[in-house]
A and B are shown apart, each in its own frame.
Chain A
Amino acid sequence: MTSPFLRLAGVTKRYDSRGGIADVSLEIANGESVVVVGPSGSGKTTLLRLIAGLERPDAGEIWLDGRKLAGDGRNIVPANERRVGFVFQDLALWPHLTVRGNLEFVADSVGIDARARPARILDVVGLCRIDAGYLDRYPHQLSGGEQQRVALARAVISSPRLLLLDEPFSNLDQELRSTIRADLAALQRNLRITAVYVTHDVGDAETLAHRTLTIRSAAVGG
């Protein structure tokens, strides 16, 4: 049996006030698309943040592609070295940079050669079905759906090994939600990228998931 691409073993993260996750274990295969569902406050977002390296686990281990990312209460591999793409719930597009600036910053940071960057940006823009005319616009000059596509483009331009999406469609109306969800499913098939979605929408799970995991207050169950 091949070893899992992403493995969490007994991961716990508690906050001073409340919330977090306790003793979560899960395994995800390479190229698999997993949707994590669960009630508000059950720790879905915390799970993604731990995988991305934005939080330190209190206990447990996180492994990606055979490499230990975190264990013994500390992050062994920092967030910027994990090659993980993240689409935040509120998108977190950098407001002082244009669409091109947002994409270029990531491309530059992951070491894409300056001469190759324009072509790479156009590739990703095409892949995410963003109008190239929007490249010089600022995030606040775009509609909600366009912002969503830019956030997705920014997450995939670095060719991440793992894509994490935190309620990626929560701010969209139903029609736009269906369109972008279908586009995302196609994108994921094309890139054959391993992905973990957090959502509480059953439609998302049906369209995007190979497998659905439910997170309750304490742990994840398949």
Chain B
Amino acid sequence: MWGVWSSRTFVIGGAAAIFAIVCVLPMASMLWGVATAAAPISLLQSAFLDARQRRLLATTISLGLSTAALSAAAGMLLGFVLARTRVPARAALRIALVAPALLPPYVIALAWTSIAGAAAFTLFGAVVSLTTAYFPIAMLATEVGLRRVDPRLEEAALLVTTPRRVLRRISGPLVLPNVIAAALLIFVLAVSEFSVPGVLRVRVFTTEVFSAFAALYDFARATVLSLPLMLVSCAAAWAATGSGKGLIVTRRSLRHVTTDAFDGWSAAGTVLASAGIVVALIVPVSALLIEAVRAQSVLAVMRSSRDAATNSLLLASLGATAVTIVALVLGYARARTTRRVGVVLDVCWLMLFAVPSTVMGIGLIGVWNRAGAAGFVYGTRAMLLLATLSRFVPAGALAAAAIVRAVPDSHEEAAATAGAGWLRTMNRIVLPQIRTGLLAVWVVTFILAFGEVGAGILVAPPGESTLPIRVYTMTANAPPGHVAALALFQCLVVFCPLALLGFVLARQERS
């Protein structure tokens, strides 16, 4: 429709080039480094067959599996409560239950160290912290899945059997693909997580990659350590995209639908949701608050962290803006391409999103830490921006593709037949329809970028620090109250853009 030489081709080409440089090149350079090493076979043997490596892999996979299982179980229950029972103040409950997912995971880990003391510094402690952070993903996946299931499928069963059996035989199996996909995503996020095992001193692959580079300055070992983790993450990401294919549900809007059948469970559902909010949000935030109030000279610590906080705010804002722009163009291309190419892109983006932050950090160093123009960039704050782009463009593109798909092709076709060019069509027809979705992408990217520590801590130039890096390094030697105060400040910053998004959404709903 637009022709090969239209502005569309150049804009998509530009975004694809940025994506290749910031996301694909670091991974390709790592793999190339292994392939061209002096003794690649022995290098790979040491990565997969060494007993210590195997133990590390076992701990990492245990962390991922336990977190995925616990999060899926809790998320499935709460998702059902939100989707099918008549709980009071449903929207408020949902926001409160989702809030832990938007806090940096290490903030939650810090809170649990205040609550549980030494018991938190274990694999179980890491599982609890990560479950607190990730169960909302399974909860939302379940809720969205159930809302997409036509309630008539349940009603048809309710004519002949009890609500409990309907849940087990009809609703459960129908929503299961969503839960499995969410569990796999949580598995990937858990094995990729660096900050929580780092804070709780649990030795997993991500922390070992960091130690190999930051403590031992052994780039080759860091690269080799990254390989098993990369493979496990990519395999799980691949499985997660595949698990959605079996989903056969009636196409429905996501409006809330309840049947009278589950009315009897509303009281229990309210108790369950309230308990979830207390355990996942109120207890951890209160623990941090108590710790911060008890500490002395908190104001001095806040003042000394001012530069790091300003840095973080600036980088997160710039990063979120850059990610949203690149992701929008890539997402548009995905939405308007053929089904087969689209599936390949989905898998590719999900796999890149699954690459652990420390692994991406090592990849970025491999590309940019060299003589010439690249070396000039390496010593600057731009590396932190590149880290943000490399971490979040793939996820942003996935989200943007879903948003753009909501605009029918015919809207563009109508503009084209009316004589508009592609840029004008995007500006006047497509973007106005998706601006709220794009704002959501920006807000979520800002929150994630503001809490990013794994890649940033590796690529930050000397003397440069962000708030998460400062908090992470302070956990080693500063009083817990000071760390708690900074962590609480992070929570506040995270909730500001979230409140803005909530306000915009509420206003849109009213109008």
Contacts and interface: CB of A to CB of B under 8 A. Distances in A.
Interface of A: 52-56, 75, 78-80, 82, 84-86, 88, 90, 92, 94-96, 105-106, 109-110, 138, 140, 154, 158
Interface in B130-161: 150, 152-153, 155-161
Contacts of A105: 157, 160-161, 169
Interface string B248-275: 1110000000011100000000000000
B170 A84 contact: no
Contacts, number: 66
Nearest to A107: B160
Given A54-B259, A105-B169, A92 B159 contact: no
Main SS of chain B's interface residues? helix
The 7 closest A-B pairs by CB, nearest first: A109-B161, A92-B152, A109-B160, A95-B248, A92-B156, A79-B158, A88-B152
11 contacts: A54-B259, A78-B158, A79-B159, A80-B159, A86-B155, A88-B155, A90-B150, A92-B150, A92-B155, A105-B160, A140-B248
B161 A75 contact: no
B260 A54 contact: yes
Interface of B: 150, 152-153, 155-162, 165, 169-170, 173-174, 248-250, 259-261
A35 to B, nearest CB: 21
A85 B158 CA distance: 11
Contact of B158 (A80, A94, A138): A80
A103 to B, nearest CB: 11
Contacts of B248: 95-96, 138, 140
Between A52, A54, A90, A110, the greatest number of chain B beta carbons within 10 A of the residue's beta carbon is seen for: A54
B260 A86 contact: no
Given A92-B150, A95-B248, A96-B173, A54 B155 contact: yes
Contact of B250 (A82, A86, A90, A158): A90
Contacts of A53: 159
Nearest to B246: A96
Given A54-B259, A79-B261, A96-B248, A86 B159 contact: yes
Given A54-B260, A55-B260, A94 B156 contact: yes
A95 B174 contact: yes
A110 B165 CA distance: 12
Nearest to B174: A96
A54 B158 contact: yes
B159 A94 contact: no
Contact of A92 (B153, B259, B260, B261): B153
Given A52-B155, A80-B158, 15 more contacts: A54-B159, A54-B259, A75-B260, A78-B158, A80-B160, A88-B156, A90-B150, A92-B155, A94-B157, A94-B174, A95-B153, A95-B248, A96-B174, A110-B160, A154-B156
A158 B160 contact: yes
Contacts of B249: 95
Contacts of B155: 52, 54, 79, 86, 88, 92
Nearest to B162: A80
B447 to A, nearest CB: 34
A80 B173 contact: no
Contact of B165 (A52, A56, A78, A109): A109
Nearest to B170: A94
A97 to B, nearest CB: 8
A76 B156 CA distance: 19
A135 B169 CA distance: 19
A100 to B, nearest CB: 14
Nearest to A84: B159
Nearest to A166: B152
Contacts of B159: 52-54, 79-80, 82, 84-86
A171 B361 CA distance: 56
Contacts of A55: 260
Contact of A86 (B156, B169, B173, B259): B156
A7 to B, nearest CB: 20
A123 to B, nearest CB: 17
B175 to A, nearest CB: 10
A98 to B, nearest CB: 12
A122 B157 CA distance: 21
A56 B260 contact: yes
B255 to A, nearest CB: 11
Nearest to A140: B248
Between A75, A84, A95, A154, the greatest number of chain B beta carbons within 10 A of the residue's beta carbon is seen for: A95
A82 B158 CA distance: 10
A157 to B, nearest CB: 9
Nearest to B166: A80
Contacts of B250: 90, 95
